Amino acid sequence: MNVKMDGVEMDVLAVWREGSVVKMVDQRKLPHSFEIIDLKDHKETAWAIKVMVTRGAGSIGCAAGFGMAQAALEAAYLPDKDFMVYLNDAADTIRATRPTAANLFKAVDKCLEAADWGKVSIKVENIVKAAEYILNDDIKATEEIAKAGGRLIKDGFKILTHCNAGALAYIGLGTALAPIRQAHRDGKNVFVWVDETRPRGQGARITAWELEQEGIPYALIADNAAGYYMQRGEVDMVIVGADRIAANGDTANKIGTYEKAVVAFENKIPFWVAAPGMTIDLQTKTGDNIEIEERDPEEVTKMWGLNDAGEPTTISIAGVGTNARNPAFDVTPAKFIDGFITEHGLIQRPFIEAFYSLFASPGIPPGNKYAGT
């Protein structure tokens, strides 16, 4: 993405690799400062995923792939058996960072598959290639999502989005923001309602910043305000990203997405999920089988930002010792979703049949009780 910060213009990705070093935009600091952080080995990369230096399903998938590439380079001098032990340990470390997004697990698996033949030097080469392939494939997927989803957006549309599913969350054009970018670039007059997205404020801190960078009109709203605008007829469609989509279409995304979907359904507002095949997990049959990450309650009781003097500050918004819970995601049942915007175009009901025909072979397993959902 093209970034203008403090008068300097640069073209950066959320995550990339330079030799054995993984580089990331430090999303914890946005929008107040734009910093790139260097991760020197796979353990540092795993740490960066866990503490959300980078975040968003696509970006953590790419970071996971690059972490595996780092592990392969670190162990390149070992005999095959020890190399594989090191690689599998690294895979476990990376898998243990964040449980919900399918992309992370698929990226680790793709890198392990790349190591299933050849001598160590070949394995290292293939793992590095696999990690780069994931990134390039993701970028292409977002371009297709932009084209397919852009056609859904009519001139004058007001679109609600939740969390950040932009270029920082999914490398390239993003997922939910890709069709919006396309419509804007096509000269359509679009406007975006940006949910603040408590507790970490990905909407306020990152989506608003991305839209500002691109000159797309938007307004930041408190999470609680989305229903108000939907009820007043000021939302034409909702587009969100996804962290994991089950085979029946149930979709895990940032906490609060479910509520928006129910209110959109009640108000007959189209609710679309933009996500590529990397986020669709056919091994997970329904949303009940998706593991939901629960994060530190301090993310709920405290907030971070700049004080009036412009200094980064953390403040407590709840009393000392307040009991809090912090689920990071929720699951929107497929019945509230009008369709999916994917790299293969728009998918409407029955979701499972389209998912199996586009994202798996040879098709729906015989007797699958979820067929037709």
- The catalytic residues are 243
275 counts as binding ligand RUB under rule CB under 6 A: yes
Q: How far is the CB of 163 from ligand RUB (least distance, A)?
A: 4
Nearest to 27 by CA among 166, 193, 227: 166
Q: Residue 292 or residue 318: which is nearer to ligand RUB going by CB? A: 292
Among 22, 135, 148, 169, binds ligand RUB (CB under 6 A): 169
| Strand-strand pairing, 36-39 and 21-25 | antiparallel
Among 254, 280, 284, 333, binds ligand RUB (CB under 6 A): 254
Q: Residue 59 or residue 126: which is nearer to ligand RUB going by CB? A: 59
Near ligand RUB by CB under 6 A, which window of 11-19, 128-136, 237-245, 338-346?
Answer: 237-245
174 counts as binding ligand RUB under rule CB under 6 A: yes
Nearest to 54 by CA among 88, 83, 29: 29
65 counts as binding ligand RUB under rule CB under 6 A: no
Residue burial 301-323, b: 16+ Cβ < 10 Å; e: rest = bebeeeeeeeeeeeeeeeeeeee
CA–CA gap between residue 4 and residue 84 (Å, rounded): 43
58 counts as binding ligand RUB under rule CB under 6 A: yes
277 counts as binding ligand RUB under rule CB under 6 A: no
Report the chain's terminal Cα–Cα distance, integer Å: 37
Instruction: Decide: 176 and 239 in contact? Cβ < 8 Å.
Output: yes
Q: Residue 87 or residue 178: which is nearer to ligand RUB going by CB? A: 178
373 counts as binding ligand RUB under rule CB under 6 A: no
Nearest to 197 by CA among 259, 269, 249: 259
Near ligand RUB by CB under 6 A, which window of 121-129, 164-172, 263-271, 300-308?
Answer: 164-172
Q: Give 278's contacts (C-beta < 8 A, 6+ positions apart).
A: 57, 58, 61, 102, 103, 106, 107, 134, 137, 138, 141
Site for ligand RUB, residues 182 to 211, rule: CB under 6 A? 202
Nearest to 249 by CA among 119, 329, 356: 356
Near ligand RUB by CB under 6 A, which window of 64-72, 149-157, 163-171, 258-266?
Answer: 163-171
Q: How far is the CB of 343 from ligand RUB (least distance, A)?
A: 12
Judged by CB under 6 A, how many residues of this single chain contact ligand RUB?
19
120 counts as binding ligand RUB under rule CB under 6 A: no
Q: Residue 14 or residue 87: which is nearer to ligand RUB going by CB? A: 14
370 counts as binding ligand RUB under rule CB under 6 A: no
Dihedrals phi, psi of 273, to nearest 5 degrees: -110, 125
Near ligand RUB by CB under 6 A, which window of 55-63, 69-77, 307-315, 347-355?
Answer: 55-63
170 counts as binding ligand RUB under rule CB under 6 A: yes
Q: How far is the CB of 231 from ligand RUB (least distance, A)?
A: 23
Site for ligand RUB, residues 279 to 318, rule: CB under 6 A? 279
Instruction: Decide: 223 and 257 in contact? Cβ < 8 Å.
Output: no
Binding mask 334-363 for ligand RUB (x = CB under 6 A): ------------------------------
Long-range pairs for 226-234 at CB < 8 Å and ≥24 separation?
226/160, 226/162, 226/193, 226/195, 226/259, 226/260, 226/263, 227/259, 227/263, 229/158, 229/160, 229/193, 230/160, 230/263, 230/264, 230/267, 230/269, 231/263, 231/267, 234/158, 234/193
243 counts as binding ligand RUB under rule CB under 6 A: yes
Is 161 strand, coil or helix?
Answer: strand
CA–CA gap between residue 18 and residue 43 (Å, rounded): 16
Residues at the interface with ligand RUB (CB under 6 A): 55-58, 163, 165, 169-170, 174-175, 202, 241-243, 253-254, 275, 279, 328
